[in-house]
Amino acid sequence: MAASDQNHDWYHLVSDYILTKNPTAVIKPRFNASTWESATTSADRQAYFNNTLAPLIDADSDLVIIQLVDNVNTDAKLATFGEDAKTLITNIRIKAPHTRVLWVAGWFVDDNKINLIKTACLDRGALFVDITAYKDDDQYKGKMGATRTGIDGTTWTVTNPGEALHPGDLGMQKIAEAVEEALNF
């Protein structure tokens, strides 16, 4: 959200890394699953997976990277999150039995949320990619007054303090490095 442009966010950096290791890899476009993250019931999260996420996952997918938890910011969203995180990993594996699942977290988190994700990953055989080392250090955050360029080429100046709290280019680089280290190829 605070990378200077799409070429400096961790998704793009990791995609480039994967392509250097396997130039024929097919990388699907990123997908915003904040609706799953913001749901307040297991039934709503399952329905979202079934109707929206499952069609995006191919049976022969090699890798699925999840980055969900930062917007689980109410008691209602958190109530079933831990079990739903386990179910999400299981659902992905049902759809793509041989895929590696990585869960990247967290920027706007506390120890409780991180422990829920760690537990889900451990219980379901996914790999937890911890990015919390960067979340509180200003050098990794966006900056007020920075110029950003959207996917459509539109530019704007960061004037919202909430936007500036997100990872900036250096933060995105560190997240990408953590994912690349976890991939280990």
Domains of the chain (ranges, CATH numbers): 6-183 (3.40.50.1110)
d(CA 89, CA 137): 30
Q: Residue 182 and residue 171: Cα distance in Å, rounded?
A: 17
pTM listed for this prediction: 0.95
Average pLDDT, integer, range 3-32:
95
Q: What is the 3-state secondary structure (H, E, C) of 39-73?
A: CCCHHHHHHHHHHHHHHHCCCCCCEEEECCCCCCC
Taking only the tens place, the pLDDT of each residue in 75-134 is: 999 999 999 999 999 999 999 999 999 999 999 999 999 999 999 999 999 999 999 999
Residue 173, pLDDT score: 98
Q: Residue 185: is its pLDDT beyond 90?
A: no
For the chain, percent helix, then strand, then coil, each to nearest 5?
A: 50, 10, 40
- DSSP structure class, residue 94: H
In the predicted model, is pLDDT for residue 146 greater than 90?
Answer: yes
pLDDT of the residue at 1 = 78
pLDDT, tens digit, for every residue of 167-178?
999 999 999 999
What does the pLDDT look like over 45-63, one tens digit per residue? 999 999 999 999 999 999 9
| Average pLDDT estimate for 2-17 | 95
Q: Which percentage of the chain shows pLDDT scores above 90?
A: 98
Mean pLDDT, rounded, of the chain: 96
